[in-house]
Amino acid sequence: MNAMLNSQPADAAPIAINGQRLWDSLMEMAKIGATPKGGVCRLALTDLDRQGRDLFVQWAREAGCSISVDQMGNVFARRAGKDDSLAPVVTGSHADSQPTGGKFDGIYGVLGGLEVIRSLNDHGIETERPIEVVIWTNEEGSRFAPAMVASGVFAGVFTLEYGLSRADVDGKTMGEELRRIGYAGDVPMGKPIHAAFELHIEQGPILEAEDVTIGVVTAAQGQRWYEVIFTGQESHAGPTPMPRRRDALLGAARVIELVNRIGHAHAPLACATVGMLQVHPNSRNVIPGQVFFTIDIRHPEDAVLAKMDAELREGIAKIAADTKLETTKLEQIFYYAPVPFDTACVDSVRAAAQRFGYSHRDIVSGAGHDACYLAGVAPTAMVFVPCVGGISHNEIEDATPEWIEAGANVLLHAMLGRSSR
């Protein structure tokens, strides 16, 4: 550990971040893409995403960081280390949001990292290793599927060509949109990382319900995402008798039921969701001829996730046959196995929580995070804080200033714990 910190007596109050400054930065950032219900809509690679990135870059430069942008538009703000040739300790998260997103999902991890750097500056602490704060492009997977695609390219899970060619519903690709907003960088993908930490709200109800301030994230559950197209036949809603119909939406409705049943069948840990549906031609007096929809299934055990996958495929085949539909597409577009985080990094998070006397518990992440891909290339762990009512991916997403401050304090000390040679 750093010389100054070592010179602190063991029982001295730990060096702390500035909670008010972090909160103010979060509220300032939340003005970019602010929604009437108090949330944020800052979809990946839109003009609003660019404004958010620009503000972060400005703040990071003011804090003395150098900025670099890689070929997937990931933004790295670097605070030099005493030995700047050493691999950095990295933190960060994402700045994009869901269409009806909140003020904390993602951006808390980015601005929490910036607050770590600002606090190191305040306290005159030089770390042996460089510290980097990253905005990972398009974590949400909302505008461009899949999620976490740019950290995935960084970690070698996807090729650069794959990442840049992901397209939104209008056919605009990530490559085009990165160029348009001025964040198509030229730094090659991937580099050595000494250790990585991601700070995030829990996005679920456990910590708040148990009145615990810090989630020490030991693992993240696995996920599979699918895209499905059912094709039937468009025909007139009036003259077409019920037995003759090939209603693609009826098939999709039965799959929605099936997905929900599979989730319940593997309770309490399984999750299963149909979140997106596009009906063609979407006219009230036309029997739907084609439906596109998505499926998201998750479980902390890979074997159970595989069983859910088998049940899903079998169920979809039966529904298609029963409803006389063609399964034009059934493609798993995204999969990662449950991710165990690095024991030493997890220990650093736990030790930091203990140092501040924060209540804490081990927890498994229900959501996907860029840390899940980084874990494949560097020792990685995450810090969770509660969110009000466990609600996220919702404009009412909220957290208290006390939780926000506590999480960043834990991040600071977890990073310092790994920032020596």
Stretch that binds Mn ion, among 98-106, 164-172, 226-234, 249-257 (CB under 5 A): 98-106
Closest distance to ligand GLV from the beta carbon of 103 (Å): 15
Question: Is-contact 200 285, C-beta < 8 A?
Answer: no
Considering the rule CB under 5 A, would residue 105 count as an interface residue with Mn ion?
A: yes
Residues in 309-368 at the binding interface with ligand GLV, rule: CB under 6 A: 367-368
Q: Which is nearer to Mn ion, 106 or 417 (CB)?
A: 106
Question: Is residue 206 classed exposed, middle or buried when 0-12, 13-18 and 19+ CB atoms within 10 A define those classes?
Answer: middle
Q: Residue 42 carries which side chain, given as an amino acid letter?
A: R
Burial class (CB in 10 A: 0-12, 13-18, 19+), 80: middle
User: What's the CA dihedral at 377, 408, 219, 339 to 10 degrees?
Assistant: -30
| Minimum distance of ligand GLV from residue 142's CB (angstroms) | 8
Q: Which does 106 bind (CB under 5 to 8 A by kind): Mn ion, ligand GLV, none?
A: Mn ion
Cα dihedral 52, 156, 377, 338 sign: positive
* C-alpha distances out from residue 69 to 14, 45, 74, 187, 370, Å: 33, 14, 6, 6, 17
* Cβ count within 10 A of residue 169: 11
Peptide bond into 288 cis (omega under 30): no
Q: Which of residues 120-159 bind ligand GLV (CB under 6 A)?
A: 140, 147
Q: Does 381 bind ligand GLV (CB under 6 A)?
A: no
When binding is defined by CB under 5 A, the residue of 52, 92, 106, 112 that contacts Mn ion is: 106
Radius of gyration of the chain measured on its C-alpha atoms: 23
> Residue 196 CB, nearest distance to Mn ion (Å)?
15
- Structure-block tokens of residue 138: 């398009």
Closest CA to 135 of 88, 191, 74: 74
2 versus 93: smaller Cβ distance to ligand GLV? 93
Q: Which is nearer to Mn ion, 79 or 200 (CB)?
A: 200
The residue among 234 and 395 lying less far from ligand GLV, judged by its C-beta, is 395
Smallest separation (angstroms) from ligand GLV to the CB of 264: 20
Structure tokens at 114: 């910036």
Question: Binding-site residue total for ligand GLV (CB under 6 A)?
Answer: 4
145 binds, among Mn ion, ligand GLV, none (CB under 5 to 8 A by kind): none
- Judged by CB, which is closer to ligand GLV: 17, or 219? 219
Instruction: Decide which of ligand GLV, Mn ion, none touches 70; Cβ closer than 5 to 8 Å per partner kind.
Output: none
CB 67 within 8 A of CB 123: no
* Nearest approach, Cβ of residue 44 and ligand GLV (Å): 12
Q: Does 258 bind ligand GLV (CB under 6 A)?
A: no
CB of 273 to ligand GLV, least distance (A): 9
Measured from the CB atom, is 105 or 208 closer to Mn ion?
Answer: 105
Residue 12 CB coordination number (10 Å): 9
Interface contacts to Mn ion, rule CB under 5 A: 105-106
- Binding residues for ligand GLV, rule: CB under 6 A, are 140, 147, 367-368
